[in-house]
Amino acid sequence: ACPCALGLATPVAALTALGAGAKRGVIFKRSKIIETLASCDTAIFDKTGTLTKRDLEVKSFENLGAPQNLIYSLALASKHPVSAGVAKFLENKNCENFELKEVKEIAAKGVSASFEGSALLAGSAKFMRENGVIGLENFSRANEGLSEYLVAINGKAAARALLGGEIKEGAKECVDFLKRSGFSVLILSGDKKEAVRATASTLGVDEFYYEQLPEDKADFVRNLQKKGRRVLMVGDGINDALALSYADAAVCMGEGADISLAKSDVALLSSDPRSLISAVVLARRTVRAIRQNLFFALGYNALAIPLAALGYIIPLIAAASMSLSSVAVVLNSLRIGAVFKDKK
């Protein structure tokens, strides 16, 4: 009898997968998540910083009279990629950072603050509408599928920036792979409809949702789970942290916020979406190896024990066979890493 082979079947395969993943910049925080990831059937992506580059470029900037230093200061008050893009744009114009009062960041919406008695708002159009801002129709340029950043002073629209981000190299390849692998692929973003639609169209994603707050994303994940779906959530920002905590398998991209990294089960050290392909391939290959190991270990004992009891196997051969069964399980587990042998 060889209980060793049974005892080695799962842990050796899991350890091999953890090592193979680390070499490719895929960090599984728990060995159990490998099996969970392999069983997922729905992949949900955030847009900005996940499918598109985190560094957004200002394509258009309209100012209706707001001090640029004030806009710059508001942009610096948030770490959101859209705000960071505006701050970088204005930084090149040698703007000065004012000390704002009562600064408050509202997740997935924007920032409110005050300066010398003036009430300031910066963020999305939805945020502006919720706060009764007037004059949004005074901006001339159409949205054109770009991310929008608005500034209001004392309830009146004062400036608007339109920003665009390139789709990451490898994003289309990643989405296509997941589709071929049987995943339903969705985009869940806090950005405007036009921007999300443009990204979804380029990547071939039919189902997408826009202007999603953190709690909206979390509710979306839970509703899918109630329908029996196994959800893989991929994000990188503060706005994704809540949804990541509810997902069956949570993946955070390399440049993700600290809270998103903390809530994730898998961390991709690279910001290349193709790292997710490696994670899924590795997870599924590991589960297959575990099943093969268990099948071999159980089959070996079921066959060998009756033969030994009936006297068809002498003790010397039985002893050698017991050791060889454990070696076979280990060697089969080591084959997991070979799935990437010819791939960079």
Taking the C-alpha atoms of residue 98 and residue 93, their distance in angstroms, rounded to an integer, is 15
Nearest C-alpha neighbor of 291 from the set 2, 38, 29: 38
Closest CA to 71 of 100, 42, 47, 48: 100
Catalytic residue among 41, 46, 248, 342: 46
Q: 46 an active-site residue?
A: yes
Of 89, 86, 52, the C-alpha closest to 170 is 52
- Which residues in 313-343 are b (16+ Cβ under 10 Å) and which e? beeeeeeeebeebbebbbebbeebbebbeee
The tokens describing 34, both together, are 């490998």
- Does the CA dihedral 72-74-77-78 come out positive or negative? negative
120, 151 Cβ separation under 8 angstroms: yes
Which residues are catalytically annotated?
Answer: 46
